[in-house]
């Protein structure tokens, strides 16, 4: 069994503008992002404490927030694509699972989202 580690981000509310809505359509109040980044276990099992020995996710979160507010998006898929490309730019990331959802969907209830898993082979092609 291979040693595995991940960084997991759950329910990050991002400030973004996605979709086109008519006057009677339900407009989402929130867009929530979940992100699981598979990284090498050497970035978690460290001999000494210090940021130099771990995957620093703060710059990636800042970039995700920048991308989210960068423009109007017609689709969740386009924002997901841009976030995956930002994750691929981090050499420590070995695979990605991303889930972006909006809520509410209808009558003040429900959530609707898009999920994508990107393996090491696809990431290598993006790099």
Backbone angles phi, psi at 75, to 5 degrees: -135, 155
Residue entry with tokens 């020995």: 53
- What CATH number is associated with residue 37? 3.30.1130.10
Please report which residue ranges of the chain form alpha helices under DSSP H.
58-69, 76-88, 120-126
Structural domain containing residue 34: 5-126
Predicted local distance difference test score (pLDDT) of residue 2: 75
How many domains does the chain divide into?
1
Identify the band that residue 1 occupies on the pLDDT scale cut at 50, 70 and 90. Answer: low
Q: What is the pLDDT of residues 67-119, one digit of tens each?
A: 999 999 999 999 999 999 999 999 999 999 999 999 999 999 999 999 999 99
């Amino acid at each position: 069994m291979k040693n595995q580690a991940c960084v997991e981000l759950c329910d990050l509310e991002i400030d973004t503008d996605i979709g086109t809505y008519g006057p009677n359509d339900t407009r989402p109040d929130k867009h929530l992002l979940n992100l699981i980044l598979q990284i090498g276990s050497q970035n978690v099992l460290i001999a000494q404490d210090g940021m130099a020995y771990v995957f620093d996710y703060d710059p990636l979160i800042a970039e995700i927030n920048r991308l989210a507010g960068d423009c109007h998006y017609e689709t969740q898929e386009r924002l997901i694509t841009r976030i995956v490309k930002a994750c691929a730019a981090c050499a420590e990331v070995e695979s990605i699972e991303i889930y972006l959802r909006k809520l509410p969907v209808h009558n003040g209830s429900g959530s609707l989202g898009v999920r994508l898993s990107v393996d090491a082979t696809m990431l290598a092609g993006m790099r």
